[in-house]
Amino acid sequence: MRFAATLTLIASAALTPAVAQQRATLAAGTRFETSYVRIDSKHPGPTVLLFGGIHGNEPAGFRAARQIAGWRIERGTLIVVDRANVGGLAANERWIPDLSKLRRDLNRQFPRKKNGQPTGVLATALWELVKKTRPDFVIDLHEGIDFSKVNPKSVGSSVIAAKNARDRAAKMIASVNTTIENSKKRFVPRGPPVLGSLARAANIVFGIPSMIVETTKLDQQLTLRVRQHRILVHRFLTDLQMLSGRPDVLVGTAGSGTKVNVGMYVSVGVGGPGPQRLEKILSAKRGFVVRRLCAADIRSGALAQFDVVVFPGGGASNQARALETAGRTAVRKFVRAGGGYVGICAGAYLAANNYDWSLGILDADVIDRKHWARGRGQVAIEWATPKVRADVLYVNGPLYAPSRDPDIPDFEVIARYRGEIRKNSAPVGIMINTPAVVAGSYGKGVVICSSPHPEQTKGMEKIVRALIRRAAGQ
């Protein structure tokens, strides 16, 4: 079966005129329909075909591939299929949904011998892309369950390379391992890729140097695993002289034009459905590009590419500890230079001025700290302009009072609490009428903090977008 590929040229002002990006559809008109992007440097060089999301419950691959698709390729061509198994990704399951046991594992449906054929609509469409583009290299991003180094039964944290890709894999492993302190969690070489996999098929049928790159889900945050994928692929492309610069590019050409680029810290100390809700509210259609960050991203300077950094709910002291001094300094520096800060609940504690671990970028002290566990529930707030009341979800958010720090400008109250939650013997009358949502400034940057959770309150989506845009200086 063959599928017509429809090509559309993406006009992008930030691209150097020489580079062309084309997006095209695969398996068009079927329930497996997905797309790929082709980044042509217009300079002679190798063609690299990169896959993410072949297994739907391995999200680091598709997130890393989406980020890499924004990289400026300087030589050759990079082709990225970031969401190979769209149905599996939507369901967060390994398989292609609703297929038989024999057919549902996409990475077992590719040719097992030189004259073999792929099975199923999706594998056939992906294989057609390999045949059509005849890449010089194939990389397929995956995730394993446990660290291969200590549990060889699992493929986690390994690069599974075909024989003719082993030398390149060894260099990639060397690069990523410099970022991993715990030797038990370091990457190891493996190979060859399993029979029926895309990487193995590309090697058997066309002799293409191919590899499967596996991170480990155990005990490691998604944002850290995405970072590891990025570092591995960055080393690979750098060795091919297709790329220069650092591996911390998360937005790249995807954030060009009038979009608001939002970096959202989602790692140690972040919990609940906030980040996922924010990704829905701040959609591309609405003009936002959202990328999740880990503490190492922030420490290595990744914030510079964003308009706004968001710290969502969870535990503020844990967020502060994960950032370390260097990360907290990087956030302050980013805001001082004009970056926006949006803190929600834990992120609002983090911005405050009276903890030894807090950022001190908002002229607010947290009061009644003893009763921080005030509970969870809907509470009334009143917006300042226009003066309207609404119920909003509250989960142990901070109660603010002016800090009167001469070095930080006073904040403006955007909304006040008009009700209160006082479980766990919190005293009466402390919470009511305190600021719920505030806006301040720190250096050239806007700081917006919300004690409650508008991002988890139905009907407040528009307000959330307005707050983010305001923090971005729009």
Beta strands in 20-153 (DSSP E): 20-26, 34-40, 47-51, 77-81, 137-144
Cβ at position 48, least distance to Zn ion in Å: 19
Whose Cβ is closer to Zn ion: residue 198's or residue 296's? 198
Q: Is 176 helix (H, G, I), strand (E, B) or coil?
A: helix
How many alpha carbons fall within 13 Å on the CB side of residue 105? 9
3-state secondary structure of 293: strand
Contact yes or no for 256/288 (Cβ under 8 A) = no
CA angle 416, 421, 424 (to 5 degrees): 145
- As a whole number of angstroms, the distance between CA 263 and CA 279 comes to 11
Please say which residue, 106 or 129, places its beta carbon nearer to Zn ion: 106
Q: Say how far apart CA 439 and CA 411 lie, in whole Å.
A: 5
Sheet holding 188-190, edge to edge: 7-9, 20-26, 34-40, 77-81, 47-51, 137-144, 210-216, 158-161, 188-190
Closer residue to Zn ion, CB minimum distance, 172 or 366: 172
Tokens (6 digits) for 128: 């057609």
Residues at the interface with Zn ion (CB under 5 A):
55, 58, 142
Q: How far is the CB of 212 from Zn ion (least distance, A)?
A: 8
Nearer to Zn ion, 95 or 311 (CB): 95
Shortest Cβ 140–Zn ion spacing (Å): 8
Q: Which is nearer to Zn ion, 20 or 145 (CB)?
A: 145
Contact (CB, 8 A) for 212 and 197: yes
61 versus 445: smaller Cβ distance to Zn ion: 61
CB of 208 to Zn ion, least distance (A): 19
Q: Cβ closer to Zn ion: 85 or 124?
A: 85
**CA R_g for the chain:** 24
Q: Give helix 166-177 / helix 222-239 axis angle, nearest 10°.
A: 130
